[in-house]
């Protein structure tokens, strides 16, 4: 059952998630700039990962804070979903730490690969409640939690940011 009576205006959680996405984007940008001396040794798969995640982080507040249901929201939503999917797929090839093995953070990549089609289908069906829940979950899990864990434990962005 499609619930069209759910408000499409941003609530406090979505305003906060947009702000946190901008904070995460700022940390990533600062880390990348501080690591400039090491850029030449970074594989292309990592650069693709950084570009797609930065695109998703930058679009998050735009999509959460701007009017919804508009052609612009739909178009940017497809770009965001594509960036999230490409980031998740690409992350399966990024295994710089842990001797080339998968880490627990890769479970969020699998979750994203499953959830991107769910959120797109929910939007296309005008199931606002499901779309909103899925987007919020992906922002919290795949952007913010996963993003947080790219900084500690000797990972590349943490090395760049804190060195």
pLDDT digits (tens, 9 = 90+) for 71-86: 999 999 999 999 999 9
Q: What is the pLDDT of residue 19?
A: 98
| Among 11-15, 120-124, 127-131, 147-151, the least confident range | 147-151
Q: What is the pLDDT of residue 124?
A: 96
Place of tokens 């990962």: 49
Percent of the chain with pLDDT over 70: 90
| Short-list 96, 113, 107, 119, CA closest to 146 | 107
Q: Average pLDDT of the chain?
A: 90
| Among 44-53, 68-77, 143-152, the least confident range | 143-152
Query: Sorting pLDDT into bands at 50, 70 and 90, what band is 95?
Result: low
Residue 37 buriedness (CB in 10 A; 0-12 / 13-18 / 19+): exposed
Asked if residue 107 has pLDDT above 90, the reply is: no
Give the up-direction half-sphere exposure of residue 41: CA atoms within 13 A in the CB hemisphere: 6
| Short-list 42, 55, 51, 48, CA closest to 160 | 42
Asked if residue 1 has pLDDT above 90, the reply is: no
- String of b and e for 125-137 (b: at least 16 CB within 10 Å)? eebbebbbebbbe
Query: Any idea what DSSP says for residue 139?
Result: I
| Short-list 127, 105, 149, 93, CA closest to 135 | 127
Asked if residue 26 has pLDDT above 80, the reply is: yes
Query: Sorting pLDDT into bands at 50, 70 and 90, what band is 96?
Result: low
Percent of the chain with pLDDT over 90: 73
Helices of type H across 6-155: 12-34, 44-65, 71-91, 106-124, 128-138, 146-148
């Amino acid at each position: 059952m499609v619930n069209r009576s759910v408000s499409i205006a941003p609530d406090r959680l979505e305003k906060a998630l947009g702000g946190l996405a901008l904070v995460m984007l700022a940390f990533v940008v600062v880390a990348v700039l501080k690591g400039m001396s090491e850029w030449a040794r970074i594989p292309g798969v990592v650069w693709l990962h950084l570009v797609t995640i930065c695109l998703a982080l930058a679009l998050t507040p735009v999509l959460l804070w701007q009017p919804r249901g508009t052609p612009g929201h739909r178009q940017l939503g497809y770009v965001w979903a594509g960036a999230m999917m490409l980031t998740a797929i690409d992350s399966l090839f990024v295994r710089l730490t842990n001797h080339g093995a998968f880490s627990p953070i890769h479970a969020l990549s699998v979750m994203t690969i499953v959830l991107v089609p769910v959120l797109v289908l929910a939007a296309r069906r005008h199931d606002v409640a499901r779309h909103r829940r899925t987007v919020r979950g992906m922002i919290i899990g795949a952007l913010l939690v996963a993003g947080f864990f790219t900084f500690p434990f000797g990972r590349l962005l943490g090395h760049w940011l804190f060195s």
